Amino acid sequence: MIDSLKKSDEHELEQLVNDAQILFDEADDVPLQVREYEKKLGIYLISPSSYLADPKRIQVAKTNLQSFGFKVKVDKCATEKYLRFAGTDIQRAKSFTRAIKESKAPIIMPTRGGYGLTRILPLIDWKLLAENPRTYCGYSDFTAFNLALLAKTGLPSFTGPNAVSDFGSDKLDELTTEIFVEMMRGELEILSFVSEESDSVDETGVLWGGNLALLTALLGTPYFPKIKKGILFLEDVSEHPYRVERLLIQLHQAGVLKTQKAIILGDVSDYQLVDNDNGFSMISVIEWLHKTVKVPVVTGLPYGHGEVRVTLPIGKKVGLATEDGMAHLVIDKHNHSKDDSDHHTNCLKLEKYKRKNK
């Protein structure tokens, strides 16, 4: 297994995958816990997209994040309201500048998604961001920023929870929380998930992607990263399968899909099939991918607008392998002993999150 990786790495990565399988089999018996950390990491919260329907939830998110070992500072315009946006275009674009100036907050996170980031991409000071690297993490509309950052500066970022959307509720998803914390602290080596209907894959490449509609909206602009031989992951919400297929057709006809080593599908959720579909579903879309694009497709990634939202790097080289109904994303490799608890494997027992779009 893992033949495409360097020979010197084969044994180590095979061991990681084997360990992942063992942990996966035992996952139901192990309660999930977020470790306590003495060292606090600073997070700066901004609102670059839609306004917050309930601004009070920012305090809930702040309290929850603090309980997971973060120091939280909220941007002065985070609760602004202008039309459907969290402030004017200029206010929202300058929130990135204000975040950079907050030296004690290496992590920058949006409060929520929605709409608005594509409007402000030309107003963001990309040179300032390139000269002052930070750790960015968010999803949904934040996909536009993740990809623009990669295209304009070459810097990686993360797609994962949004502050209020994920940490501002009274009940948090434990897996989403645990994986986010581990990823922000550089502790996660390999992410394994159920993927029973996937193609056989054994590749390495730059991981990139996010929300399909946002990614496709950047096509043909200076904010679309030119990634070849990469591993593309996608999700979407409230888009009927035929619209999902139409977006994929656009990417295919633009020459994007055929240059990838693999396509990983996350959650495609919150849509309604109708009688006129006559059997057309997400299965049909996947069949079209296989027939037309001829790139290996991996399904089951717990990422998107579903119940669980893993944190993933964008713009970083990873390994991807499928085996025995599971997929393994090798996020990071470290030379360490089995007793080293700072870097480990997180395996997701997610039968209840399998594709509901059949």
CA-angle at 292, arms to 287 and 293, nearest 5°: 100
Task: Identify the pLDDT of residue 336.
Answer: 43
- Residue 18 resides in a domain: no
Residues 60 and 116 in one domain: yes
Residues 147 and 264 in one domain: no
Task: Identify the pLDDT of residue 112.
Answer: 98
Q: Is residue 23 over pLDDT 90?
A: no
Closest by CA to 198, choosing from 86, 354, 338, is 354
85-94, 289-298, 328-337 — which is least confidently predicted? 328-337
**For residue 17, which phi and psi values (nearest 5 degrees)?**
-65, -40
**CATH classification at residue 181:** 3.40.50.10740
- Residue 307 resides in a domain: yes
The average pLDDT across 285-307 equals 94
The amino acid occupying position 309 is R
- Residue 1 resides in a domain: no
Provide the domain count of the chain: 2
The average pLDDT across 189-204 equals 94
Average pLDDT of the chain, as a whole number: 88
Residues 213 and 174 in one domain: no
Half-sphere exposure of 285 (CA within 13 A, CB side): 22
Prediction pTM value: 0.88
Q: Is residue 160 over pLDDT 80?
A: yes
Q: d(Cα 32, Cα 116) in Å, to the nearest integer?
A: 35
The catalytic position among 305, 328, 343, 344 is 305
Residues 200 and 180 in one domain: no
Residues 83 and 114 in one domain: yes
Residues 181 and 215 in one domain: no
Using the 3D structure, point to which of 185, 211, 245 is the last residue of a domain. 185
Residues 98 and 158 in one domain: yes
Q: Is 235 a catalytic residue?
A: yes
Q: Is 140 a catalytic residue?
A: yes
The average pLDDT across 289-293 equals 93
Task: Identify the pLDDT of residue 239.
Answer: 96
Q: Is residue 209 over pLDDT 90?
A: yes
Closest by CA to 158, choosing from 197, 185, 118, is 185
**CATH classification at residue 233:** 3.50.30.60
Domain range for 132: 42-185
Q: What is the pLDDT of residues 327-343, one digit of tens each?
A: 999 998 654 444 444 44
The catalytic position among 49, 50, 95, 140 is 140
- Residue 53 resides in a domain: yes
Q: CA-based Rg of the chain, rounded to a whole angstrom?
A: 20
Residues 83 and 173 in one domain: yes
DSSP per-residue string spanning 250-317? HHHHTT-GGG-SEEEEEEEES----GGGTT-SHHHHHHHIIIII---EE-----SSSS----EEESEE
Residues 160 and 241 in one domain: no
The catalytic position among 235, 239, 245, 323 is 235
Dmax (CA) of the chain: 57
Residues 48 and 154 in one domain: yes
